[in-house]
Chains A and B, each alone.
Chain A
Amino acid sequence: MPTKEEIFEKIREALVEALGVDEEEVTPEATLVGDLGAESIDFLDIVFRLEKAFDIKIPRGELFPEDVLTNPEYVQDGRVTEAGLAELRRRVPFIDLTEFEKNPVVQDFANILTVADMCRFVETKVEVAG
């Protein structure tokens, strides 16, 4: 049963290998796209590594709720609606949406995911020690 620190270390290792970044760059506050330079195909790579590192399954849409962000029911004029934000809060409670909610432009969503969000996500999938 891993501790929170062990989860962070494994995620850091996965991101170093997938993104070719230095260990020091992978801080809890770092955003995957903006700070670590992740591109869309890198997320597939990252999911493979997280699944293997933690022996978990990450179904499509669980870490990145693309289906919500492309659903006309939740998006209008390129912005996530109130109903959409409620759906995001339900679907991805591990992501801190505070900043995004102020100006919920769909194309900005990919930029908000941080390493800390990813740690919280993994903590929902494995039993955490302590």
Chain B
Amino acid sequence: MRWFWIDRFLEFQSGKYAKAVKNISLAEDHLHDHFPGYPVMPNSLVVEGLAQTGGLLVCQYTGFQEKVILAKIPRVVFHFEARPGDTLIYSATVENVTEDGAMVKATSRLGDRIQAEMEVVFAYLDGQFQDKMLFDPVVLQHMMRILRVYEVGCDAEGKPLGLPPALAVPPAGT
């Protein structure tokens, strides 16, 4: 599945803050339908990109042990349309984490202008879903690597992020 709505992480401080970049390209098919002759980035996909920035931040903080789902967007405001050729910078800050989920505030910026602002609530699925898998660990590991989290990420002490045990994949044939 190619459901990537950010291109890479620029910063990733475990449990605190992440910054990601989204380059909008006219090569993206959906822009030709949204709208014919007037391509603009759908706001819903900006929301998805901001949620991926914040959601992976929360997932990583839990050591990928929790099943993190987007539960609610209490607030989102768009200030202007993002268009092909624009480079959006998404920032996500963890406001609060509890045993049940996390609250994240996120912004999308184009240069020094704020394009969108959002609050998002993530919930951890509880016991009744313990035996269900949302993401294959291999797919998640692949996603984190493609987005270069392990190139820029650091933990609370500023040390480089290592691959969490939950994502460690045994070598083929074992």
> Which residue of chain B is the closest to A58 with respect to CB atoms?
B98
Contact A48 to B96, CB < 8 A, known contacts A41-B121, A41-B123 = yes
B interface residue count range (under 10 / 10 to 19 / 20 to 34 / 35 or more): 10 to 19
SS class of chain B's interface: helix, strand, loop or mixed?
Answer: strand
> Which residue of chain A is the closest to B119 with respect to CB atoms?
A17
> Which residue of chain A is the closest to B101 with respect to CB atoms?
A44
A23 interface residue, CB < 8 Å from B? no
Instruction: Say yes or no: A44 contacts B123, CB within 8 Å.
Output: yes
Instruction: Say yes or no: A48 contacts B98, CB within 8 Å.
Output: yes
> Which residue of chain B is the closest to A50 with respect to CB atoms?
B96
A52's partner among B95, B101, B123 (CB-CB below 8 A) is: B95
> Which residue of chain B is the closest to A43 with respect to CB atoms?
B100
A49 to chain B, nearest CB (A): 8
Enumerate B135-170 residues with CB–CB distance to A below 8 Å: none
Contact pattern, A 16-27, Cβ under 8 Å of B = 1, otherwise 0: 011010000000
Contact A48 to B71, CB < 8 A, known contacts A41-B121, A41-B123 = no
CA distance A51 to B100 in the complex (A): 13
Q: Which residues of A contact B173 (CB under 8 A)?
A: none
Instruction: Say yes or no: A51 contacts B96, CB within 8 Å.
Output: yes
A33 to chain B, nearest CB (A): 16
> Which residue of chain B is the closest to A49 with respect to CB atoms?
B103
> Which residue of chain A is the closest to B99 with respect to CB atoms?
A60
Instruction: Say yes or no: A41 contacts B71, CB within 8 Å.
Output: yes
A42 interface residue, CB < 8 Å from B? yes
CA distance A44 to B123 in the complex (A): 8
CA distance A98 to B111 in the complex (A): 58
Contact pattern, B 66-102, Cβ under 8 Å of A = 1, otherwise 0: 0000011011000000000000000000011011110
Instruction: Say yes or no: B121 contacts A48, CB within 8 Å.
Output: yes
Residue of B71, B74, B121 most packed against chain A (CB within 10 A): B74
Instruction: Say yes or no: B72 contacts A45, CB within 8 Å.
Output: yes
With A17-B74, A17-B75, A51-B96 already in contact, 10 other A-B pairs whose C-beta atoms are closer than 8 Å: A20-B74, A41-B72, A44-B100, A44-B101, A44-B123, A45-B74, A47-B100, A48-B96, A52-B103, A60-B98
Q: Which B residues are closer than 8 A to A by beta carbons? A: 71-72, 74-75, 95-96, 98-101, 103, 121, 123
Q: Which A residues are closer than 8 A to B by beta carbons? A: 17-18, 20, 41-42, 44-45, 47-49, 51-52, 58-60
- A–B complex contacts, Cβ < 8 Å, 11 sampled: A41-B72, A42-B72, A44-B123, A45-B72, A45-B121, A48-B98, A48-B103, A51-B96, A52-B95, A58-B98, A60-B99
